[in-house]
Structure 1
Amino acid sequence: MRERPFPLSSIIKNFTESMAFPNPQHPPHAILIAYPTLGHVIPSVHLAIKLASCGFVITFVNTQSIHHQTSKAASNSSHHKDDLFAAVRDSGLDIRYTTVSDGLPVAFDRSLHHEEFMQSLLHVFSAHVEELVAKIVKESVPPVTCLIADTFFVWPSMIAKKFDLLHVSFWTEPALVFSLYYHMDLLRKNGHFACQDTRKDSVDYIPGVKAIHPKDMMSYLQEKDISTVCHQIIFKAFKEIRSADFVLCNSIQELEPHTISALQAHVPFFAVGPIFPSGFIKSTVPTSLWLESDCTQWLDSKPHASVLYISFGSTVHVAKSDLLEIANGLLLTHVNFLWVLRPDVVSSEDQHPLPDGFEEAVRGRGMIIPWCSQIEVLTHPAIGGFLSHCGWNSTLESIWSEVPLLCFPLLTDQFTNRKLVVDDWRIGINLGDPCGMISKEEVSKNINRLMDEKSGAEFKSAVREMKKILENALMTNGSSVKNMEYFVRDLKTKIFASHAKNMCNGH
């Protein structure tokens, strides 16, 4: 009598176990490395939590500098001192935490010496990352299967390849900005970038992007000198991105449908935003670089939608002349305002940039603080408008809080975000001429226009409609939820296929 053959499933099971094949039951294990500025760290933290909620094991890597500042600012919560994800892990998610040097001493002033900081990220950081990744790969259970790194890093595909990991690129800005960088070769070829006499007419040849004026492109694409360290980083990063296995983008399919569809012809591009803390409340993971002021009592004392919130983000500096015009413009209005003036907003060397006597002149209707929990402030009913630099996190948070924007872009993607906010979505207005200087008269006029109940009504209505798009994307069958599911499915398939190929090749 012939022996009954083994079922195929048993053969596969025995083969995978005997060859140390990754068990399909093992969760994917990703090393996630956040770019060391707050605007990138915040969505990276929440992406880690989102992926862990989808069954991933995450090893989250912060730079020692960011960790030092964050744990100092959170000093009142001693259990967060060394492990910023302690509270999240208590809830049952497997997120491990570690740090790496960015190549500079922790005490080095990265705000004051931005050029040296960027040089270190370009030339030195990768060696420290490689050493850390080697250690994590060697010691981790379950085995590491992918590297998730910010798109602006210049080394991910090289390090992923070295350790046989899949490379997932995390893009923290709109798809429009990604597309313009991705197609820099077309901009060069057509004379809109990196030429002696750059064209001033609209750019109308980028796939999936409707005509855009050069003044609305990112600041780095408007500059004549392209030899700067930031340009070197951008060029190298967007060369790297062509080797990425996947791109996750903190945007929403319905906000940028044509741009995202066109990109998907080039790269596996998944719009999974908005990436927020669960319930859109202050995160259990400390991310603040400065001690947060509690403004609740002051805001509680103000009428509904009567307060203008002002913040220029965590990184970019404001010219002192512009800051003075904004302050003097506020003096010409009667609007209540809450102004976040971080210690280095002009420079680490200028700690008192406001006009003499300004704080006394606005006492009662104005509150000036060094930092706050932006989510807590924006969701307070007293907030009626947001004077913003148009960072992408701030833009998405403002939409979710149904707060229209007064736009004052300063650098990089903020000019392109401003175009989306003012020209495309009509959920805000410009503080002044987007290309020129601002005056106190313009500042005053536009603050009054946004904050006035009658003239500001159209922006409030538009931002409410925009919020519905974000909400729908995060519903059970919403585009961002489905895109995350497709990403996880495709990633697992690729992990298994990659290991099967290695086994066949005898690796």
Structure 2
Amino acid sequence: MAKAHILVLPLPAQGHVTPLMELSHRLVDHGFEVTFVTTEETHARVVGALQAAGGTAALAGIHLASISDGLEDEDRKDVGKISDSYSRHIPGNLERLIAEMEASGRPKVKWIICDLHMWASFVVAKKLGIRVAAVWIMAAAYLALNMKIPKLIEDGLLNNNGLPERDETFQLAPGMPPLHTSELPWINFGAAEWETGLFEVSRQTERLSALAEMVVCNSFREVEAAAFTFLPNVLPIGPLTSDGELRKPVGQLLPEDSRCLPWLDAQPDGSVVYVAFGSSTTFDPRQFRELAEGLELTGRPFLWVVRTDFTTGDLSEAWFDEFKARIAGTGMVVSWCPQQQVLAHRAVACFVSHCGWNSTIEGVRNGVPFLCWPYFSEQFLNRNYITDVWRTGLAVPPNADGVVSKEELRSKVEQVIGDSEIGERARLFGDAARWAIGEGGDSYDNFRKFVDLLRE
């Protein structure tokens, strides 16, 4: 019998590509034919990173395809143009791609599995009679927050534009992370046009999710039990992984520097401070230097991911070269790394993180304590999970000037590594994650339900 052909569509950003690529590997393992569709710019970056690592053969059955978003590079900084593109360009281009694939002899597309943010794919699926399932790639608590936007407006906490009417901390339910109104996911991007656009996307979540036959989430019940009581029709299937050995590529947009793995092998157990702030965070030169010098002050081995676009403004290259020379015996700086393998490594003691959901759930899965340094969006919500609900890490607060000092960083590193209760709670959540995805676990059973639906 021919394999069912599934199109998988992430939002074209690293934090969305990774979990949907992991899901794609799992679907291939269960006998499906998968075509992974991204915009041309993201597709080129994924292919480039794969080629730098040895080629696309490692995808092991996932077909890569691309569509135009109709944007120039500069346009991708404008949320209005991005939103317009998703409405005007992506539906037609996706429809043409499907027609071209079928004309070339590829099997008819049976399902579209879309990132819940890729609303344009629902339009195409409805027109072509293709069935749709959706994936929520962030915390279930964030999805619950979006679902509760009408109630928050009714209660007077938000106005109709999503802006807070009161300066307060609220909590949707016991067991869910508290959140201050100044840290709502759609209002901390620093640009009004982004905030307006993101709020509109957020308030459409409930309507869009109702169009899917099933919505699954990259989380697990034990870590978000209260949130899933709000979402009885959303099935947790996480933490997602590409494979048990973490060897299959997960759609990196930057080439990985795998030299860090043998370097970690040479470090003592539970000794390394791993520092990574995702694909979007940027620091000004002053904060960058404080971070660098704080890591040096710890006197501990550290692995630090520094993207080429990590700093804004003019950072002295000579200073950074001198820093790297000083720490060469204890620290390692890389431009990107295989994070899942790093977090699973016995040498890692703690994770200094921006608290993006992929990083958060990967750290939880591996029982790693956190130092939380959120940047924007839902990262503050995830930080509050870590510090207030799970209590598996500490926050790294800025001073009155808005800067996290090197002394603060050094102090918090020592606190989080030295706190045995934090370490034990982190270990227990790691055990719970492994149970959830193991045979008989809740996420395992939910994934089987998902697969059974896709086979209908």
Q: TM-score, normalised by structure 2?
A: 0.87
Match of 1:103 in 2: 70
Structure 2 unmatched runs, 5+: none
Superposed CA offset, 1:49-82 (max 9, x none): 212223322222132222222332333455x3xx
Shift in alpha-carbon separation, 1:114–1:276, aligned structure 2, 3 A: farther
From 41, 62, 68, the equivalent of 2:17 is 41
1:7 alignment counterpart: none
Alignment of 1:55-454 (within 5 A): 55-76=31-52, 80=55, 84=56, 86-89=57-60, 95-104=62-71, 108=73, 113=77, 115=79, 118-119=82-83, 121-123=85-87, 124-136=89-101, 142-194=107-159, 198-204=165-171, 206=172, 210=176, 212-214=178-180, 218-221=184-187, 225=192, 228-236=196-204, 238-264=206-232, 268-284=233-249, 287-347=252-312, 352=317, 357-432=322-397, 437-451=403-417
How far does residue 166 in structure 1 lie from its aligned partner after superposition? 1.7
Shift of 1:482: 0.8
Aligned residues of 1:66 and 1:289 also touching (Cα < 8 A): no
* Kept in 2: contact 1:104–1:120 (CA 8 A): no
Is this contact kept in 2: 1:390–1:418, CA < 8 A?
yes
- SS at structure 2 position matched to 1:445: helix
Instruction: Evaluate the alpha carbon distance shift between residue 236 and residue 356 of structure 1 in structure 2; reply closer, same or farther with a 3 A threshold.
Output: same
Indicate the SS of the match to 2:336: coil
Note the residue ranges of structure 1 that are not aligned, 5 or more in a row. Answer: 1-24, 494-507
Q: Distance in 2 between matches of 1:129 and 1:473?
A: 35
Whole-Å separation in 1 of the counterparts to 2:212 and 2:49: 35
Other structure's SS at 2:23 match: helix
Measure the CA separation in 1 of the matches of 2:221 and 2:122. Answer: 26
Aligned CA distance change for structure 1 residues 46 and 156 (closer, same or farther; 3 Å): same
Shift in Å at residue 209 of structure 1? 6.7
Task: Determine the C-alpha separation between the residues in 2 that align with 1:254 and 1:278.
Answer: 22
Q: 2-side partners of 1:282 and 1:408: how far apart?
A: 28
CA distance in 1, matches of 2:94, 2:175: 35
Kindly indicate whether the alpha-carbon contact (under 8 Å) linking 1:336 and 1:366 is maintained by their aligned counterparts in 2. Answer: yes
C-alpha contact (below 8 Å) 1:62/1:99 kept by paired residues = yes
For residues 187 and 447 of structure 2, the distance between their equivalents in structure 1, rounded to whole angstroms, comes to 31
Q: CA RMSD in A?
A: 3.1
Partner SS for 1:310: strand
Per-residue Cα deviation, 1:264-311 (whole angstroms, up to 9, x for no partner): 2xxx31111011121142324653523424123433333222210111
- Indicate the larger mover: 413-422 or 377-386: 377-386
TM-score normalised over the length of structure 1: 0.79
Task: Name which structure has the greater RCO, CA cutoff 8 Å, separation 6+.
Answer: 2
Aligned to 2:26: 50
Q: Secondary structure at the match of 2:332?
A: strand
Amino acid at match of 1:462: R
Pair member with larger Rg = 1
SS in 1 for 2:221: coil
Q: Which amino acid aligns with 1:250?
A: N
Displacement of 1:360: 3.5
Distance 1:283 1:351, change over 3 A: farther
SS in 2 for 1:313: coil
Query: C-alpha displacement at 1:171, in angstroms?
Result: 0.8
**AA matched with 2:328:** R
Counterpart of 1:145 in 2: which secondary structure? strand
1:192–1:346 Cα change, 3 Å: farther
State the SS of the aligned residue for 1:385: strand
* Whole-angstrom CA distance in 1 between matches of 2:68 and 2:163: 39
SS at match of 2:362: helix
Q: Deviations over 1:308-364 (max 9, x none)?
A: 011101223234443233223224321221111011112498695976843234332
Q: Which moved further from structure 2: 359-368 or 152-161?
A: 359-368
Q: Identity of paired residues, percent?
A: 28
Give CA deviations for 1:150-174 in whole Å, capped at 9, x if unaligned: 1112312212111111221111111
SS at match of 2:244: helix
Do structure 1's residue 29 and structure 2's residue 5 form an aligned pair?
Answer: yes
- After superposition, give the CA deviation of every residue in 1:237-290 in whole Å (9 maximum; x if it has no partner): 5542332221111010222223213212xxx31111011121142324653523
Q: How many residues align?
A: 450
Provide the residue aligned with 1:17 in structure 2.
Answer: none
Kept after mapping to 2: 8 A contact 1:33/1:61: yes
Change (3 A) 1:55 1:261: farther
Paired letter, 1:463: A
Is the alpha carbon distance of 1:139 and 1:387 closer, same or farther for their aligned partners in structure 2, counting shifts above 3 Å? same
